[in-house]
Amino acid sequence: MEKFVISHSAVAVPSRVVSNDELATMMDTSDEWIYTRTGIHNRHIVTNEDTSDLAIQVAKQLLVDSGLSATDLDFIIVATMSPDSLSPNTASIVQGAIGAERAFAYDLSAACSGLVFALSTASALLTARYQRGLVIGAEVLSKLVDWQDRSTAVLFGDGAAGFLLERTEAPVGLLAEDLVSIGAKAEFLTAGQLANRNAFAGELKLADPYFKMNGREVYNFAVREVPASLQRALDQTDLQADDIDVFILHQANSRIIQSIAKRFKQPLEKFPMNMVEYGNTSAASVGILLHELRANNLVHSGQKIALVGFGGGLTVGTMLIQL
């Protein structure tokens, strides 16, 4: 068992809320279409913040709540598919802003699985040699959304969430994990392509910054590969699905989550959802939900929880952890 404790969590979402009804004034869609297919009513959209601004808010809140100094941190990992820039990475901007002079900082890009991949990395870092670090999922997906494309514009939202992770001697932390990449199906979900305009370029590759998603293929991938990954993680332990207290799944679509609950014959109450308010916030979604559950005392120490991200790459990340 890799031992770590999630000692604090925090969230930062932009204050501007955009409802389905408001989107319906901008494009040919409706609250009914969006809600019945996805479970989403609202999403929070930035007005002037960038990804690092949200991540910095989360980091500062984690320091205030823990009473730690920024110089107590050994590392900062930011999971994001919508960084401010390719360099510096978002985590370095956070590190500089909070004055975490001893911490190394880097971004991890695995789309909606990003936070789970980052938690897996942090767990290994803590086990290997470090004492504590921040893991933050932060996204401003609204800059990757083509606001003329109703098939993707209605799905995504902006936000950030993060955790202070600390090494511990207590029997808590990672029970099992299963991380999956299916690069052969990468084309089903792309965003943020860069152009190469070098002087030697043959055929010019045009930039395509916007989300392109084959929704049906991604849906089928999720309902097939997420249960398979969860089952492989369970098979590494003596646990059955019944023994998991709460399943915290990436908040892309309520129908995907309902399908997975049914597949494991689990009550839907064990699969909390909040996409109704935030939409799909990619690397932030699992973190926002876990923070809300902690803040409302709906999860507590001693419980076993499953964290599952899935999306672009294509990727799936499953961690079974003991709180």
Residues that bind ligand ACO (CB under 6 A): 29, 33-34, 37-38, 111-112, 150-151, 154, 189, 215-216, 218-219, 222, 252-253, 256, 280, 282, 311-312
Phi, then psi, of 283 in degrees rounded to 5 = -65, -15
Minimum Å gap between C-beta 154 and ligand ACO is 4
Q: Are 285 and 251 in contact (CB under 8 A)?
A: yes
Catalytic residue among 8, 253, 280, 291: 280
Catalytic residue among 112, 196, 220, 297: 112
Toward ligand ACO, which CB reaches closer, 105 or 112?
Answer: 112
Residue 137's nearest CA partner among 90, 194, 86, 184 is: 90
Largest Cα–Cα separation, the chain = 60
Toward ligand ACO, which CB reaches closer, 8 or 44?
Answer: 44
Catalytic residue among 250, 253, 291, 297: 250
Toward ligand ACO, which CB reaches closer, 76 or 110?
Answer: 110
Q: Are 230 and 318 in contact (CB under 8 A)?
A: yes
Minimum Å gap between C-beta 310 and ligand ACO is 7
Sequence-distant (6+) residues with CB within 8 A of 194 are 207
Which residue, judged by CB position, is nearest to ligand ACO in the bound state? Answer: 311
Toward ligand ACO, which CB reaches closer, 117 or 219?
Answer: 219
d(CA 185, CA 170): 40
Q: Are 247 and 289 in contact (CB under 8 A)?
A: no
d(CA 272, CA 46): 25
Annotation says 112 is catalytic: yes
Toward ligand ACO, which CB reaches closer, 260 or 319?
Answer: 260
Residue 62's nearest CA partner among 172, 136, 167, 159 is: 136
Q: Are 161 and 10 in contact (CB under 8 A)?
A: yes
Minimum Å gap between C-beta 100 and ligand ACO is 28
Active centre residues (catalytic): 112, 250, 280
